[in-house]
Amino acid sequence: RQAAALVDAAQRDPLTGCLDHGALVDTVALSIELSRTDGRPFGIVLVDIDNFRSLNDTYGHAAGDDALLTVVDVLTQALPEGAALGRYGPDELLVVVPTERIHAIDGFLATVRAALVDRALQYGVSERLPITLSIGVCTFPEHAESATGLLTIAATTLQEAKSSGGDAIRFAGTS
């Protein structure tokens, strides 16, 4: 039991308690294997907190941590059943949506965005600071044939969302 607890702890981000980068990549690779076996697609949702660096620079790293924890809380509450959530980068979160829930991605993202409207942050006498997200979505095998390829497509699609001014969702292969 202790060994299992240590393995679990080693795969978790210490701040958020979510899966860490390595565990997420493993989850994507396993999902690809399962998808190849059953021939059904699965989804990847890459989420970036808009203006995260500015938040850290202006209000300190504790403010960035608050924003990250707020987004994780909102994502966790809306997460489709069986989906995996983890911290992919400093201000990026990744959701792996299983085959049987791939149809729920649009509703999941709408729920997350609506919940964040009410979750603005405030520090001292600052104005309420809204939390917005840029999001890139892709699916296997439609957009890539490997974990690396899929994650690259998700990152490129996320960058398109950010480049449009942020607070946007982009699906791979659409304009």
Q: Give me the helix-helix angle, 61-78 and 105-117, nearest 10°.
A: 140
Active site residue 66: no
- The burial of 64, by beta-carbon neighbours within 10 Å (0-12 exposed, 13-18 middle, 19 or more buried), is given as buried
Residue 172 gets which letter from DSSP?
A: T
Residue among 91, 106, 118, 167 flagged as catalytic = 91
CA gap 40, 35 in Å, rounded: 5
3-state secondary structure of 163: helix
The overall longest dimension of the chain from CA atoms, in Å, is 55
Indicate which residues carry an active-site annotation: 91
